Amino acid sequence: MEFWNDIAVDKSYKILQELGKEFDFVLIGGWGIYFLTGALKSKDIDIIIDFKELTKLKIRLGIKKNDFLKKYESKVDGASIEIYVPYYSEFAIPPEEVLRNTIKIENFRIPRPEILLILKQQ
């Protein structure tokens, strides 16, 4: 049984694929777990990105800064994109450390499994 409705998940996946062709990021959250385990897809997209890529993303998506939650946000066709950056966003493992500890699965960079597990528990 899928948690999110199929239309929202499919739309999110298509957006994720498009972003993956244009930008270099580390995929965290539900999609990161999905690519690692094959279980439970997501309707939103959570990424960690460096400032060079953030600048490109701002031009392409028109993102907003959320100072309270220490992240950037965007919406594309109803899909929420949460964007975290080094030295600003706060996690149990700093984003700059996550960016240095990744693996590649199906052309997406995700944190090493032990790091992703810690991030998901936060």
Tell me the pLDDT tens digit for each residue of 10-69. 899 999 999 999 999 999 999 999 999 988 788 899 999 999 999 999 999 989 999 999
Range of the domain at 114: 6-121
Residue 7: per-residue pLDDT: 85
45-48/64-66 β-pairing: unpaired
Please state the domain count of the chain. Answer: 1
pLDDT band at residue 6 under the 50/70/90 scheme: confident
Whether 93 is in a domain gets the answer yes
CATH number at residue 103: 3.30.460.60
- The string of DSSP codes covering 47-72 is EE--HHHHHHHHHHH--EEETTTTEE
Report the side by side order of strands in the sheet with 64-66.
Answer: 64-66, 71-76, 79-84, 45-48, 26-28, 108-111, 102-105
Residue 3: per-residue pLDDT: 54
pTM of the model: 0.91
